[in-house]
Structure 1
Amino acid sequence: MANEQAQTTPDPAASRVGATDQAAPSSPCGAEIGTGGSADPRSPKRPLPAPTTRTTRRTLTLDGEERSYDATVATLTIDTKKVAPAASVFHADFIALPDGEHADPSRPVTFLFNGGPGSATTFLLLGSLGPRRIVTEDPVPPAGAAPATTAPYELIDNPQTLLPQSDLVFIDAPSTGFSQMADEAKPELWSVDGDVAAFAQFIQKWLSANGRWNSPKYVFGESYGTVRGSALSYALLEAGIALNGLVLLSDILDYGHILGSSDQAYIGYLPTYAAIAHHHGRAGGRADLEAHVQEARVFADGALRRALSRGDRLAPGDAAAAAERLGELTGLSRDYVLRSDLRVTDPRFRKELLRDQGQVVGRYDGRVSAYDLDAASDDETFVADDAFLSPAYAALVNAYLRDELGWSGTEERRPFADFDWESVEPGKGWTWSHKLPEHTKTMWGTQLTHPQVIPDLAAAVVRNPRLKVLVANGYFDLATPFFQTEYDIDHLALPAALRANIAFTYYRAGHMVYTSPAALSKLIGDLRRFYEADSAGAMTALDERPALPPLGLDA
Structure 2
Amino acid sequence: MSEQSDTTGKDQTSAKAGETLQPDEEHVTHHSITIDGHAWRYDATAGTITIDTETVRPAASIFYTAFTAVGESGEADIKRPVTFIFNGGPGSASTFLMMGSVGPKRINIPDAAPQPAAPYELSDNTDTLLPASDLVFVDAAGAGFSQIAEEAKKELWSVDGDVKGFSAFIRAWLSRHHRWNSPKYILGESYGTTRGAALAFRLQQDGVALNGLTLLSNILDYAFTFDTSDQYYIGYFPTYAAIAKYHGKAGQGIDMARHLQTARDFANGPLRQALWKGDRLGSDERALVSRRYAELTGLDERYVSDCNLRVMDDRFRKQLLRDEDSIVGRYDGRVRGLDMDRVSETETFVVDDNFLEPPYSSLANAYLRDDLGWQGRAERKSFAGFDWNSPEPGKGWTWWHQLPPRTLSSFGDKTPFPKVTPDLAAAISRLPTLKVLVCNGIYDLATPFGQTEYDIDHLGLAPSLRSNIAFTYYPAGHMVYTSTEGYHKFADDLKRFYASDTAGMPALNERTNQPARPEAD
Question: TM-score of the superposition, structure 1-length normalised?
Answer: 0.91
Question: May I ask how many residue pairs the two structures share in their alignment?
Answer: 516
Offset from partner CA, 1:142-192 (integer Å, 9 cap, x none): xxxxx3331110011111100000000000000000000001011111100
* Residue pairs, 1:348-359, within 5 angstroms: 348-359=315-326
> Equivalents in 2 of 1:75, 1:35: separation in Å?
13
- The aligned amino acid for 1:545 is R
Cα displacement (A) at 1:6: 1.9
* Residue pairs, 1:373-384, within 5 angstroms: 373-384=340-351
* Residue pairs, 1:28-427, within 5 angstroms: 28=13, 31-34=14-17, 47-99=20-72, 101-140=74-113, 147-427=114-394
Aligned to 1:459: 426
1:539 aligns with 2:512: no
Verify the 8 A CA contact 1:502 1:539 in the aligned structure 2: yes
- The aligned amino acid for 1:121 is S
Verify the 8 A CA contact 2:434 2:502 in the aligned structure 1: no
> Equivalents in 2 of 1:77, 1:507: separation in Å?
37
Offset from partner CA, 1:52-74 (integer Å, 9 cap, x none): 11111111111122211010000
Q: Secondary structure at the match of 1:208?
A: helix
Cα displacement (A) at 1:99: 3.7
> Equivalents in 2 of 1:417, 1:374: separation in Å?
31
Aligned to 1:447: 414
Q: Secondary structure at the match of 1:503?
A: strand
> Equivalents in 2 of 1:546, 1:66: separation in Å?
39
> Equivalents in 2 of 1:340, 1:328: separation in Å?
16
How has the CA–CA distance of structure 1 residues 340 and 310 changed in structure 2, closer, same or farther, with 3 Å as cutoff?
same
> Equivalents in 1 of 2:376, 2:238: separation in Å?
45
- The aligned amino acid for 1:80 is T
- The aligned amino acid for 2:12 is S
> Equivalents in 2 of 1:246, 1:549: separation in Å?
22
Aligned to 1:497: 464
Aligned to 2:4: 6
> Equivalents in 1 of 2:132, 2:331: separation in Å?
28
1:22 aligns with 2:8: yes
Q: Secondary structure at the match of 1:267?
A: helix
Verify the 8 A CA contact 1:298 1:549 in the aligned structure 2: no
Q: Secondary structure at the match of 2:359?
A: helix
Unmatched runs of 5 consecutive residues or more in structure 2: 517-521
Offset from partner CA, 1:314-342 (integer Å, 9 cap, x none): 11111111101100010011110000000
- Computed over aligned residues only, the root mean square deviation of the Cα atoms, in angstroms, reads 1.2
Q: Secondary structure at the match of 1:310?
A: helix
Match 2:474 to one of 494, 498, 507:
507
Verify the 8 A CA contact 2:32 2:40 in the aligned structure 1: yes
Verify the 8 A CA contact 1:73 1:405 in the aligned structure 2: yes
> Equivalents in 2 of 1:425, 1:6: separation in Å?
44
Cα displacement (A) at 1:34: 4.7
Cα displacement (A) at 1:100: 5.1
Verify the 8 A CA contact 2:467 2:502 in the aligned structure 1: no
Cα displacement (A) at 1:35: 5.7
Cα displacement (A) at 1:133: 0.8
Offset from partner CA, 1:385-427 (integer Å, 9 cap, x none): 1111111111100110000000000000000111111100001
Offset from partner CA, 1:188-240 (integer Å, 9 cap, x none): 11100000000000001100110000000000000000000000000001111
> Equivalents in 1 of 2:478, 2:217: separation in Å?
6
Q: Secondary structure at the match of 1:343?
A: coil
Verify the 8 A CA contact 2:103 2:125 in the aligned structure 1: yes
Q: Percent identity?
A: 57
> Equivalents in 1 of 2:203, 2:8: separation in Å?
28
Verify the 8 A CA contact 1:476 1:510 in the aligned structure 2: yes
> Equivalents in 2 of 1:72, 1:295: separation in Å?
48
Offset from partner CA, 1:434-455 (integer Å, 9 cap, x none): 0100111112311100000000
Unmatched runs of 5 consecutive residues or more in structure 1: 8-19, 37-46, 141-146, 551-555
> Equivalents in 1 of 2:17, 2:185: separation in Å?
33
Aligned to 2:519: none
Q: Secondary structure at the match of 1:524?
A: helix
> Equivalents in 2 of 1:97, 1:27: separation in Å?
27
- The aligned amino acid for 1:95 is T
Aligned to 1:43: none
* Residue pairs, 1:467-506, within 5 angstroms: 467-506=434-473
